[in-house]
Structure 1
Amino acid sequence: MTSSVTVLTNPTAGNGNAPWAAAAAVARLRERGVTVTEIEGRTPQEALALARKAVTAGTDALVAAGGDGLISIAWQALAQTGTPLGIIPGGTGNDHARLFHIPVDDPLAAADIVASGEIATIDLGLAGDRWFGTVLASGFDSLVTDRANRMRWPKGPMRYNLAMLAELAQLKPIPYRIVLDDRTVEVDATMVSVGNGTSYGGGMLITPGAVLDDGLLDVTVVASGSRFRLVRLFPTVYKGTHVELEEVQTYRSHKIRLETGTPVTAYADGEPIAPLPIDITAVPGAGRVIIGAPLS
């Protein structure tokens, strides 16, 4: 049973949904006798500083009330400290919430899970000096995100749809060199994803076989192909059946290095990390998280 928590909020997450979800969850936690300290970061830097201060001072859990971007910030403060992460979903994708069996549309139920305090110890990925819990993306999907981030119109999912169409129109193979524990793979690819968890982008099961406590990262490589083949692949990603297609190869490795012959930015937990090349490592037991059900 959790007795005291620090709730970190992002007022802009989920198109403004996060403050409402956070307020409802905080009220529920207090009803259940949990002592709540609220902190709010107006910028990522401020949020991280506040989170680190709270963890250093001591709290039963750091609760991120927002989306995967806020959870990414929380991981930077929590990794290898032993303090668990709690989640009140309030973002757009909410892939961490899905991964840990937290209801994405019921902040009261999410607060009840935080109060129950059932904790799992998991691996985290470390990309350069940045921790991540779900998936690191590179290639076509990161190019789409780059373009969408540069666009000022339209708002919401339609912006990403337009960015995807624009990137499809100029689709080109990306020469990758992928260094794994036991081999080096050189391939012209459309995208390469590295998963500590299974999904990104609001439920796309890009690395469906990823296990959270095996000390390994799953790698999904989509070989370069036609626009039609790429469009055909995307619906299958929501079921995780894309790994059965001939243009998709999967690997598992403790350490990974991604190199490309063209500029590509790596995104992890939906946040920009750094241009490739980048070194990625699975760190066993680096994270603790309050879960809604046993992890499979």
Structure 2
Amino acid sequence: MTRVLALLPNPVAGKGRNDAAVSAVAARLREAGLGVRELRGADAAESERLARAAVADGVDGLVVCGGDGMVNIAAQVLAGSGVPLGIIAMGTGNDTARSLGLPIKDPLAAADAVVSGRTRVIDLARSGDRYFVTVLAAGFDAAVNERANAMAWPKGQLKYSLAILAVLKAFRPIHYTLDLDGETRHVDGMLVSVGNGDSMGGGLKVTHGAELDDGLLDVVLFTSVPRRELIKTYPKLFSGGHTGHPAYERHRVRRVTVAAPGVVAYADGERFGDLPLTVEVVPGALTVYA
């Protein structure tokens, strides 16, 4: 029986510049003998609605073309369903694809991973009725994400680097209250990140060591340091070298509540919600082509 896949591109990315790549991916899937149902949402809400309808109609997989925001949309639709997710990385960060070892700059190679049919089961993180795949940022990292999302130029990692410099000028430590599997902490810090995966922002390994399928969340805390220390530590985020800094803490939990005044959290690179938020791990909630 022919596998039928729903193909869902980012409706706003690239102002149409990705259209040719999406068409090439659809052609590669069809050449491999797969059925392809192309979906075109005008915005994120319509894209999610179309994806839900396709899954309810019985497609064998959902393939998204875009970045971590598109993966986040798919996670809301596919959580607990067993329907596999295919990822054609075409976004700015692409941290989910990177964590899964999928091609980042080669859409046709990513399509071939879907064609192979090999799957992997990973965890999701959930807050209320919303899921995320990679990292929830709640501090300096969230402020950087918000600034970067507002920038039309440049693209890629350089955008995050410039956003960091801009945010540093005015950033002050935040007073957090954390509940870590029932243990309460009160601490002033620069950031708190909750990782299901190990990177955000295009390869920044803030939650270095987090694994997508271990049934745990990695909560990383960076206590108060002078701003110059953040500048010195930033390059080490790409390798995980920041884990040796005296201000670094890592806690592995199944459930965490993060509270702080006036902080908006980001997850999978998208605005997620105001603190306080309670996040729990949902083991084995998502099947992916990988």
TM-score (norm 1): 0.92
Partner residue, 2:36: 36
- Offset from partner CA, 1:31-69 (integer Å, 9 cap, x none): 111110000111111001001001111111100111111
Shift of 1:233: 1.3
Shift of 1:162: 4.4
**Number of equivalent positions:** 289
Supply the distance in 1 between the matched residues of 2:76 and 2:38 (Cα, whole angstroms).
18
Q: Is 1:142 matched up with 2:142? A: yes
- Offset from partner CA, 1:53-112 (integer Å, 9 cap, x none): 011111111001111111111111110111110011111111111111111111111111
Partner residue, 2:187: 187
- Offset from partner CA, 1:217-261 (integer Å, 9 cap, x none): 00111111111100111111100121111111000000000001x
Supply the distance in 2 between the matched residues of 1:163 and 1:109 (Cα, whole angstroms).
31
Supply the distance in 2 between the matched residues of 1:234 and 1:15 (Cα, whole angstroms).
31
Partner residue, 1:207: 207
Supply the distance in 1 between the matched residues of 2:148 and 2:127 (Cα, whole angstroms).
23
2:39 counterpart SS class? strand
The equivalences for 1:11-160 within 5 A come to: 11-13=11-13, 16-150=16-150, 154-156=153-155, 160=160
Supply the distance in 2 between the matched residues of 1:212 and 1:164 (Cα, whole angstroms).
26
Partner residue, 2:266: 267
CA contact (8 A) 1:95 1:199 kept: yes
- Offset from partner CA, 1:99-127 (integer Å, 9 cap, x none): 11111111111111101111111110002
CA contact (8 A) 2:134 2:200 kept: yes
Q: Is 1:167 matched up with 2:167? A: yes
What is the identity, as a one-letter code, of the residue corresponding to 1:224?
Answer: S
Supply the distance in 1 between the matched residues of 2:194 and 2:170 (Cα, whole angstroms).
24
What is the identity, as a one-letter code, of the residue corresponding to 2:271?
Answer: P
TM-aligned CA distance change 1:17 to 1:246, over 3 Å: farther
Could you tell me which runs of 5 or more consecutive residues in structure 2 were left unpaired when the two chains were aligned: none
Shift of 1:14: 5.1
Supply the distance in 2 between the matched residues of 1:17 and 1:190 (Cα, whole angstroms).
37
Supply the distance in 2 between the matched residues of 1:146 and 1:237 (Cα, whole angstroms).
19
Supply the distance in 1 between the matched residues of 2:15 and 2:102 (Cα, whole angstroms).
20
What is the identity, as a one-letter code, of the residue corresponding to 2:170?
Answer: Q
Supply the distance in 2 between the matched residues of 1:218 and 1:57 (Cα, whole angstroms).
36
CA contact (8 A) 1:11 1:18 kept: no
Partner residue, 1:229: 229
Shift of 1:159: 5.5
CA contact (8 A) 2:4 2:36 kept: yes
TM-score (norm 2): 0.94
What is the identity, as a one-letter code, of the residue corresponding to 1:233?
Answer: T
What is the identity, as a one-letter code, of the residue corresponding to 2:130?
Answer: R
Percentage of matched positions with identical amino acids: 47
1:40 counterpart SS class? coil
What is the identity, as a one-letter code, of the residue corresponding to 1:218?
Answer: D
What is the identity, as a one-letter code, of the residue corresponding to 2:101?
Answer: H
RMSD: 1.8
CA contact (8 A) 2:189 2:223 kept: yes
Supply the distance in 1 between the matched residues of 2:112 and 2:182 (Cα, whole angstroms).
44
Moved more, 57-66 or 12-21: 12-21
1:62 counterpart SS class? strand
1:267 counterpart SS class? strand
CA contact (8 A) 1:2 1:60 kept: no
Partner residue, 1:287: 286
